[in-house]
Amino acid sequence: MYFAHDEPRTAPFNADDLREEHAQELSAYLTEVTRHLVQKHPEGSLEQRAARTMEEAVGIHLDALKECFGDEEPETLRARKAAWNRLMFIIRPFEGLPRFDTYRWRLVPHADADEAVEGARRLLASREAAAEKKRSVLEGR
């Protein structure tokens, strides 16, 4: 079940694993959803205006994502990660519906393997520091 405060699940892959075809699949799905919503409600209705707003917002974010596939430079990968993750928050409420790709459409935690390793190192260092602090308190230092 979806709750508004829930974050999308984290992907078991990095931004450098994403390809243009993944963006195209996401684009096709979101285009289908927003087109359905726009056509379902009468012109000028609040619901139709909200659907058109979603259609425009999704289009802007998809365009930004599509610009992030020119190369594999660190800056481009960070931009790809950010653009992808923004879209993951937009589509989160559709999880569980037909054709929703629950494996692929998740938050990307890292730009590439190097960033993942650095993140793991930082996490380990912070846990070691917390454990050392706890030992010091327990030992009365």
Average pLDDT, the chain: 90
The pLDDT value recorded for residue 137 is: 85
Nearest alpha carbon to residue 111 among 13, 9, 7: 13
The pLDDT value recorded for residue 5 is: 56
In the predicted structure, residue 127 carries a pLDDT above the cut 70: yes
Rounded average pLDDT over 75-101: 94
The pLDDT value recorded for residue 141 is: 66
Query: DSSP H helical segments within the chain, as ranges?
Result: 20-40, 46-66, 74-91, 113-139
Rounded average pLDDT over 50-74: 93
Determine contact, residues 18/112, Cβ cutoff 8 Å: no
Rounded average pLDDT over 90-106: 92
Our measurement of the distance from residue 76's CA atom to the centroid of its chain's CA atoms, rounded to an integer in Å, reads: 16
pTM over 0.85: no
Determine contact, residues 127/120, Cβ cutoff 8 Å: no
Binned at pLDDT 50, 70 and 90, residue 3 comes out as low
